[in-house]
A and B are shown apart, each in its own frame.
Chain A
Amino acid sequence: MDALLLRSLQGYVRDTFGPPVWQAVCRRSGLTIETFEPMLRYAPGLADRVAQGVAEVLGRPVEAVWEDMGTHLVTNPRHQGVRRLLRFGGIGFTDFLQSLEELPGRTRLALADIDLPDLSLKELAPDRFEIRCQSRVKGLVRVLVGILTAMADDYGTLSVIETDDICGDRIVVRVLDRFHNAARRFDLAVPDA
């Protein structure tokens, strides 16, 4: 999990702000490397430390960095993989939300030893959902907020996605308009490269 987050941070910062900014982050975080491999393992806590480095270099709160990275994961046009995998979750945004609990299980089918956080969903009302996300990585809840925001957009749904700043592991989603925009096209078949 840490490796995936570190690789995603690297991709987000390099794509959005350019390689020199990423190099500055690596120096500031005291790293001896500049490239993270998503399939390797890194020390626990390193992802939060590097995200803090990004926050300091960019002069933004670390929560905003994690959120933007989550959005970037879904919206980056050059890597459609995450968006596509998430879209398999459902026909509409609420359908997708209801599939979130199955996501760790689905992902384990492909990567048996991935330690995705446990996600639990509670339907407070037909248009109100509470998601709890428990993870060692502090920023993960914020990454999820960024992902959910981007996915709501992808499905053309207008929604408000908020975190509970006290507990930090709770996200509340309010769906305001399911048909606010047309959903982005999604073909089940992999598009030709």
Chain B
Amino acid sequence: MTAKNAPTDLVVDAGTLARFMPMHLLLDAEGRILGLGPTLQRILGDRNAIGTRFEDWFEVRSPGGGTTMTDVLDRSAHRFRLALRNRGRVGLRGVGQRLPKGGQILINLSFGIDLIAAVGEFGLTDADFAATDLAMELLFMAEANASVTRELRGLNLRLEGARVAAEEEALTDPLTGLRNRRAVDLWLERLLATGTAFGLLNLDLDYFKQVNDSFGHPAGDHVLATVGQLLRDQSRAEDCAARIGGDEFVVILPDRTDPEVLSNVAARIIARLSEPIPFEGQVCRISASVGIVRSVDFPNEGAAEMLAAADRALYAAKHAGRGQARLIGSAVA
């Protein structure tokens, strides 16, 4: 496109051309390099490019089928893409035009979207770009965006951490560090939904009221905390040990349904709980009764039915004398 009043005999010296178009290339009619901008020279490296051929340095990526600049200009009126033969990673795009006199060809190149790779590869500075070039804006934006993304990722991680902690807190009994009633409901719901078999111990402390009455509530709290520690020690990572009432506890053991194994676990817990618990020069003595149920005995029942059955098993254990465990199946219920 030529404006009507544009001077046709405009003469531009090499210095001006270099300043306005630091990545220009001037070829003679045969495609030999007559001159080039300082930034382009820097990219091509130490070897002097003057007198060499265009295709020695550049591979034509589009328009397809072109090798020389004459091919390119014949095929593409608008824009072409090149790759540097010495640096495969960096692409260039350009526009070219035959000049009116002597068949010379003037080409202007830019990095396009490969700018970010190019500044790293060639160690370019602000001074290597034309003052009107948006290169600095693009680089600024890329870095600013990277910082914002990094901050958002960090924020997401911190919020996720806070969410996990809040959830943990909502499912934890603060006095004993065990899970709470809500956690037991969630566990049972999940195990029943996935059809995972499990054993469940319902544990009630014996003689706890006497500890409270004789030594006071601080002693009672100490005993509860000790029970919490003991139940945590006695359960595996995949188990859920919870305090669901004043002195009532539940342990859920996924994939454990062998009556003997469950009875052994209960017996071990009872034995450990029956050991004296010292508190401020006094000795507190408790024990525990345990009701045991297994999910396999209640194939069509929900969480509430299983807990009710566990409660009956616990009651049976209490009746059999303190410090006992009783397992019941659906038949007994």
Q: Which residues of A contact B (CB under 8 A)?
A: 35, 37-40, 81, 84-85, 88-91, 106-107, 109-111, 186-190
* Interface secondary structure of B, over-half rule: helix
A-B contact sample (8 more), CB < 8 A, given A38-B151, A186-B125: A37-B158, A85-B140, A85-B143, A85-B144, A88-B126, A88-B139, A110-B141, A110-B147
Chain B residue numbers with a CB within 8 Å of A35 are 158
- On whether the beta carbons of B152 and A39 are closer than 8 Å, the reply is yes
What is the number of contacts between chain A and chain B, taking CB atoms within 8 Å? 61
Q: What is the number of residues of chain B that contact chain A, defined by CB distance less than 8 Å?
A: 23
- On whether the beta carbons of B119 and A189 are closer than 8 Å, the reply is yes
* Given A88-B136, A188-B119; A106-B144 close (CB under 8 Å): yes
* 9 interchain residue pairs of minimum CB distance: A189-B120, A110-B144, A188-B119, A88-B140, A189-B119, A109-B141, A91-B126, A110-B145, A81-B147
Does B155 reach chain A (CB closer than 8 Å)?
yes
Instruction: Please report the C-alpha to C-alpha distance between residue A15 and residue B119 in the assembled complex, in whole angstroms.
Output: 32
Chain B residue numbers with a CB within 8 Å of A40 are 155
> Which chain B residue shows the least CB distance to A38?
B151
Cβ < 8 Å to A, chain B residues 99-147: 116, 119-120, 123-127, 136-137, 139-141, 143-147
User: 23 A-B pairs, CB-CB below 8 angstroms?
Assistant: A35-B158, A37-B155, A38-B151, A39-B151, A39-B152, A39-B155, A84-B143, A88-B139, A90-B126, A91-B126, A91-B127, A106-B137, A109-B137, A109-B140, A109-B144, A110-B148, A111-B148, A186-B125, A188-B120, A188-B125, A188-B126, A189-B123, A190-B143
Q: How far does the Cβ of B158 sit from chain A's closest Cβ, in whole Å?
A: 7
Instruction: Please report the C-alpha to C-alpha distance between residue A190 and residue B150 in the assembled complex, in whole angstroms.
Output: 14
